[in-house]
Amino acid sequence: MRQGEASRTAEFMALFRAIESSGPTGSRLFDDPLARLFLQPSLQLVLRLSRLPLVGGIIPAFIDWAWPGARSSGVARTRFIDDLLRSALTDGIEQVVILGAGFDCRAYRLPGLDRTCVFEVDHPDTLAEKRKCLLRAFSSLPPHVRFVETDFNERQFERAMALAGYDPTRRTFFIWEGVTNYLTEAAVDAMLRWFATAASGSQVCFTYVHRRVLEKSEAFEGTQRLFRTLQRTGEPWTFGLEPSEVRTYLAARGLELVDDLRAAEYRSRYLTGRGGRTRGYEFYRIAVARVSGINSVGR
C-alpha cells in the first residue's frame, strides 16, 4: 500500500458508507454522517449526484457494474461488524482496537463507545488526514479515542500500543477490517499471535481474501477491473487464506474460530429484498475469533 497518502481504498469505503447513510432512514443499514468528510472533490460530486431524485439510483448501479459486489459487500460488512461490536459492548468489553482504522468512524457514531477506550491504529499519514477531516466536525477529538501511529509491516507495533495505554489484561474487541490482504505473511502471523495475548474472552473480527483470488483471480466474478484498479493505485493484494484451513491456522496462533462468512452470507443478512445487483466479491470473507486464553495474560 502506498505510504505518505491516504489509501484510495479507504476513500472508496468512505464513499460507500456516505451513499448508504444518504438512503431513507428506515432502510439504511447504518448512519455514518462523518463519512462525507473524507471524500475528495470528485467523490463529493458522486455523493451529491447519488442524492438526487430519479437519477440518484444510477450511481450505486454504476458502481455495482464497475466493481461487482464491492459496494454491497462493504456496507453489509460495516453493519455486520457494527452489530458484533454492539453485542460486545453489551457483554462488557472494556476496550476497542481498530487496526488499519482508515476512515472508520465507529468510535464517533456508535452509542456506548464513548464509555470505552478506543485505539485507532494506522499509518501516520492516514491518521493525520483523518484528524484534519474530523476537526471539521469537532472542536477537538473526543477524549475516548487514541490515535496510534504504526506500520503493520514493521516491528514497532507493540511498543506503540503500550505507549498509547493499551492494557492487555482488559477484555478487548479487535477490528481488523480490509487490512490483511495488503500485508506480508509474517506481519499477519505476528498480529494474530499478538491478539492471542489479550485477556481471555477478547474477540477478533478480521477480513481476509480467499487465497485462490491471488493465484487465479479469474476464478471469481468481477475481479479483472478490480485488480487493474488496485495495481493502478499502488495497492496490490499480497496475502490470502484458504477458508478450509482458517480454523487450524487460527488455533495454531492461540485463537478459536467462532464464525467465517462468505460475502454472499453477510450480504444476505442485511440486503435481502433491497433489489439491485449484490453478486460479486465472493473472495472477500469475514472471520470472527475469540482469545482462547492459552497465551493470554488476563484471566
Residue with cell 476537526: 135
The three three-digit cell numbers of residue 39, written as one number: 471524500
Provide CB contacts within 8 A for 21, sequence distance 6+. Answer: 28, 30, 31, 32, 33, 35
Domain coordinates in residue numbering, the chain: 68-291
| SS percent in the chain: helix, strand, coil, step 5 | 45, 15, 40
Q: What's the predicted TM-score (pTM) here? A: 0.91
Contact 119, 164 (CB under 8 A): yes
d(CA 297, CA 199): 6
Dist. CA 30–CA 85, nearest whole Å: 13
Give the integer Cα–Cα distance in Å for 124 and 33.
Answer: 24
CB 83 within 8 A of CB 173: no
- CA–CA dist 278, 292 (Å, integer): 35
Strand partners, 181: none
DSSP state of 195: H
Question: How far is Cα 245 from Cα 253, in angstroms, rounded to an integer?
Answer: 13
Tens digit of pLDDT at every position of the chain (299 positions): 333 334 778 899 999 999 999 988 888 999 999 999 999 999 999 999 999 988 888 999 899 888 888 899 999 999 999 999 999 999 999 999 999 999 999 999 999 999 999 999 999 999 999 999 999 999 999 999 999 998 766 667 889 999 999 999 999 999 999 999 999 999 999 999 999 999 999 999 999 999 999 888 777 876 766 777 667 767 788 999 999 999 999 999 999 999 999 999 999 999 987 655 567 889 999 999 999 876 655 44
Tell me the three cell numbers of residue 48.
Answer: 451529491
Residue 125 and residue 163 in contact, taking contact as beta carbons nearer than 8 Å: no
CATH number of the structural domain 68-291: 3.40.50.150
pLDDT reported for residue 233: 67
Separation CA 117–CA 97 (nearest Å): 8
153, 154, 158, 160 alpha-carbon torsion, rounded to 10°:
-110
Closest CA to 289 of 231, 191, 226, 203: 203
Return the half-sphere exposure (C-beta side, CA atoms, 13 A cut-off) of residue 165: 12
Phi, psi of 130, deg, nearest 5: -65, -45
Whole-number pLDDT of residue 6: 46
